[in-house]
Structure 1
Amino acid sequence: MDGVDRASVRAARESGDPLPGTGGFAGQLTDPGSGRSALVRDVLGRYPCFSESDDPGAWSFDPTDLSDPEPVPAGHVRTADGDERVWTLPDPPAATDDAAAVDAVRDAIAERTAAVDAEGLAVAFSGGVDSAILAARLDAPLYVVGFPDSQDVAAARSAAALLDRDLTVVELTHDDLERAVPEIVRATGRTNAMDVQIALPLYLVAQAVAADGYDRLAVGQGADELFGGYAKVAKAPDDPRLDAETVRGARREVVATLPDQLERDVLALRAAGVEPVAPLLHDRVVESALPLPGHMLVAEPGQGESRGESERKVALRRAASAWLPDEIARRDKKAVQYGSLVARELDRLARQAGFKRRMDDHVTKYVASLVE
């Protein structure tokens, strides 16, 4: 069982509690009474688990072990009879006390980061608020990955200086991307451009960490989804990428995408030689985030930033002010594939290889050519 012991998972299954105080789980359970086996995966899909499409009894945490792997859906139990949903993410009413809501977020993060064992641990650090919380709370070395002129490298350097921390910079080259793409595709089974662009910086920083002797990597995964970090959430209900009519509804839609994203990220990190550690995705942090009202996820212009733009992740930034200077707590940052310039440079490589932008999905075609 990945994540926690089988007794804890069995208790969660019997109670139906979707957030039983774990950092996620996946694996095989055997019913003590009937002796029947079942595969389980927690409500947010924080650990991947697969079985053969025609044989639930043949399973693995690694899809490359199987001939036709089918992921166990998040929140489900898979038996020979099929998949059954056991856990559903709660949808609590919006909190009415902003200060208490921020305190709850701060307390949950403080509790979960304090519980992280620093042995063999490094931190994936991009200089934004999510990874800076981990840097401030964990006694572990900081690593940033990106092309030399990337925003992530510059932001990480400035944030590390503000926190008075050493920083290892992993500077990327085109050769790094060309080497890593087939390895990521083999590990994740994905060739689409967006998945590969997101996985590349994670995979490459993890390889550097593993080469330096660390076997665990702290990551800020989940913060954008839980706390309102996406532009499409801030623009609800006017962004066509989401159906929700409210910011809270839009946040719930993007949280529902976590199982698919985390499957990719975990598989890429493990293929690079490290085990991910994601304190901001622990049940206790999730519980603190779900009741946040819309204005504590996204502050409208005039309520937050002076630039006239919406401020995202409002409650998380306020909670982080206990550990971070304001310059970091309020900092906006691009998504990792853009901040590291990996997406730009992969596009450049695709065009140099003859896959022009006028072609449909030219970067995905380039990725497929590297695998072939």
Structure 2
Amino acid sequence: MCGIAAVIGRGGAQSIHSMLQAIHARGPDDSATTFVGDQAALGIQRLSIVGVESGAQPFVRRSRLHFVCNGELYNYQTLHSAYSKMHSAPRSDVEAILDVYEQQGMASLPLLDGIFSFVLYDAVKGTFLAARDRFGVKPLYYIQDDDRWYFASEVKALMQTPGNVKDVRQVPAGGFVNPAGVGLYHCDIPRPMSAHQPAVLFALLEGAVQNQMQADSGIPIGVFLSGGLDSSVIAALAARSRPDIVAFTIGMEGSPDVIAAREVASYIGIHLVECCFNPMDVEEGIYEAVRITESYNTMIVAEGLMTMLLAKAARRHGIKVVLCGEGADELFAGYGLFRGLGCEEFQETRRAMLANIGNTECRRLDRATMSYSVEARVPFLDSRVVDWAMGLPKSSLHQEDQGETTDKFILREAFSDLLPPRIANRRKVSFDDGSGILAHLEQFRAPLNNALWTREKGWAVANVKDEVACYLFRVWRSIYGDAGGADVFQLFGEYPIMQSVLTEQRLTSGGTGEDAVNLALLDRFHVTRDTVPLTITA
């Protein structure tokens, strides 16, 4: 994993060094740039995991193709064997992207299996290609300023350029940007129905976990373990081949997540590091959480702070790579909002939440972990797992029995033998609730007087509709100014799908955690159900 930056167009190359400095934490192992006359500059802050000794970027191929990439390519050996004209081993996993691109051009994009964002400049044709992985796990933002383009892994790097920050946009998940415009290379297509076969799910997810543990020898791997079903499944699968894997959990002493994580770690026989926090950590960490997540969305900021503390602990223990359970709630319908939906709406909501995960859970996960130079990987978002699971009928995901709903039914069934029974049947508890931070959310409130609140709630484009959102947006704006312009909410404040559910007041009490969190937030911040704030999410 890395932080990348690029300037395409004459006269802007001098910005590249300050852009890289702004995202130094994403890759402290090495910093390098390449300049193509006055036509382009590409740079990288490298976090060395695969090809530690040989994989330094930027790559320059035959003095023509200049390339920087942030991410991991899981099928690089297959691609290198099929497309490389060189007989030597690849210098790193992402170099295989050049192998494919040289022969397939734009058609290479759907062949890439991994989490990535990259910028490629063709010095002969004077053209470029910027692209992002299927689910947008890895970020990539840009500004187009007349004939000049600025690209970077984070907005804070684009703030170092002379480009107009109001014009900040992001490369779409499964999409690309080139001189002709913005497009998508991945589009969901109807897939055949998958039979209810827990053994198939087990094999697919086990393969994904194995695939995503790739790293050079000597690179330790960890796992974020909340004690919930999703992270426990990932930890149990990883421990089967890496019994030395280290798990990290966070919470107040005696919080549900800490208790559950202890039980899982003991059951599967791995070492657990417990990260504790106190009210002062919350109070002092809010500004930094907003700065790092580049968001003023309540959920992303609050959970981002918890993830930052986990990543800090992981790095302190020498961990560069962590496996995580993100994606399971979207894929297996774990959120309470799925309850009561008809089959068609149920499936459409799954698809929509998965399509937006790069703006929600993966956004929070990437920024929080990379701020401490830790790479987070998400086995549930492996393409084979996703394609098979999205073919499952509602009955495989939600089972009704005497008025009680068991969610993620097939996931529980597939992995019940690997987990303690209580964990295999544990109801979903949201991260902020299970860790104990919910009890301290009151500290998000700034001492806003009525006059200040009345004046500032007029930021219509930011969708600021309550005191908490007002406070977080004020912090965000003090750092990022007018970034995003009229699209500021869509880029930095929204939690897609979940927001609309809250606004439509469709949540029902289902004991899955986020319902209670929403009600508690509404109560804490004195917001009525008739004016549900768009920036308070679950």
TM-score, L = length of structure 2? 0.61
Tell me what 1:125 maps to. Answer: 225
Tell me what 2:350 maps to. Answer: 251
Give the letter aligned to residue 114 of structure 2: G
1:57 aligns with 2:149: yes
- Say whether the 8 Å CA contact 2:334–2:428 is kept in structure 1: no
Match of 2:107 among 8, 11, 14: 14
Tell me what 1:305 maps to. Answer: none
Structure 1 residues 42-81: aligned runs within 5 Å = 42-54=133-145, 57-67=149-159, 68=165, 69-81=168-180
Quickly say closer, same or farther: Cα 1:297–1:88, change in 2 above 3 A: same
1:103 aligns with 2:202: no
- Measured in 1, the distance between the counterparts of 2:412 and 2:398 equals 11
Deviation of 1:322 after TM superposition, in Å, equals 4.5
- Say whether the 8 Å CA contact 2:144–2:150 is kept in structure 1: no
User: Structure 1: which 5+ residue stretches go unaligned?
Assistant: 238-243, 303-307
Quickly say closer, same or farther: Cα 1:77–1:113, change in 2 above 3 A: same
Identity %: 28
User: Structure 2: which 5+ residue stretches go unaligned?
Assistant: 1-68, 74-93, 160-164, 451-456, 458-464, 479-538
The two structures, once aligned, show a CA RMSD in angstroms of 2.8
- Measured in 1, the distance between the counterparts of 2:220 and 2:135 equals 26
Q: Which has the higher contact order (CA 8 A, sep 6+)?
A: 1
- Say whether the 8 Å CA contact 2:229–2:423 is kept in structure 1: yes
- Say whether the 8 Å CA contact 2:249–2:273 is kept in structure 1: yes
Tell me what 1:331 maps to. Answer: 426
1:94 aligns with 2:189: no
1:283 aligns with 2:379: no
Deviation of 1:290 after TM superposition, in Å, equals 1.4
Tell me what 2:278 maps to. Answer: 173
- Measured in 2, the distance between the counterparts of 1:369 and 1:24 equals 32
Quickly say closer, same or farther: Cα 1:7–1:323, change in 2 above 3 A: farther
Structure 1 residues 1-372: aligned runs within 5 Å = 1-2=69-70, 3-4=72-73, 5=94, 6-7=97-98, 10=101, 13-14=106-107, 17=110, 20=111, 22-30=113-121, 34-54=125-145, 57-67=149-159, 68=165, 69-95=168-194, 97-99=195-197, 102-115=198-211, 116-117=213-214, 119-138=219-238, 139=242, 140-237=245-342, 245-261=344-360, 262-302=362-402, 308-346=403-441, 348-351=442-445, 353=447, 360-368=465-473
- Say whether the 8 Å CA contact 1:50–1:62 is kept in structure 2: yes
- Measured in 2, the distance between the counterparts of 1:16 and 1:160 equals 39
Give the letter aligned to residue 115 of structure 2: G
Point out the more displaced range, 113-122 or 167-176. 113-122
Deviation of 1:287 after TM superposition, in Å, equals 2.0
Matched residue SS, 1:300: strand
Give the letter aligned to residue 151 of structure 1: P
Deviation of 1:181 after TM superposition, in Å, equals 1.8
Matched residue SS, 1:345: helix
- Say whether the 8 Å CA contact 1:200–1:342 is kept in structure 2: no
Deviation of 1:122 after TM superposition, in Å, equals 1.4
Give the letter aligned to residue 350 of structure 2: R
Deviation of 1:148 after TM superposition, in Å, equals 1.9
Quickly say closer, same or farther: Cα 1:332–1:167, change in 2 above 3 A: same
- Measured in 1, the distance between the counterparts of 2:411 and 2:436 equals 26
Deviation of 1:151 after TM superposition, in Å, equals 1.5
Give the letter aligned to residue 423 of structure 2: I
Quickly say closer, same or farther: Cα 1:284–1:38, change in 2 above 3 A: same
Q: How many residues align?
A: 355
Quickly say closer, same or farther: Cα 1:294–1:31, change in 2 above 3 A: farther
Deviation of 1:245 after TM superposition, in Å, equals 3.8
- Say whether the 8 Å CA contact 2:327–2:381 is kept in structure 1: yes
- Say whether the 8 Å CA contact 1:24–1:282 is kept in structure 2: no
Deviation of 1:142 after TM superposition, in Å, equals 1.0
**Structure possessing the higher radius of gyration over alpha carbons:** 2
Quickly say closer, same or farther: Cα 1:352–1:187, change in 2 above 3 A: closer
Deviation of 1:109 after TM superposition, in Å, equals 0.9
Deviation of 1:15 after TM superposition, in Å, equals 6.0
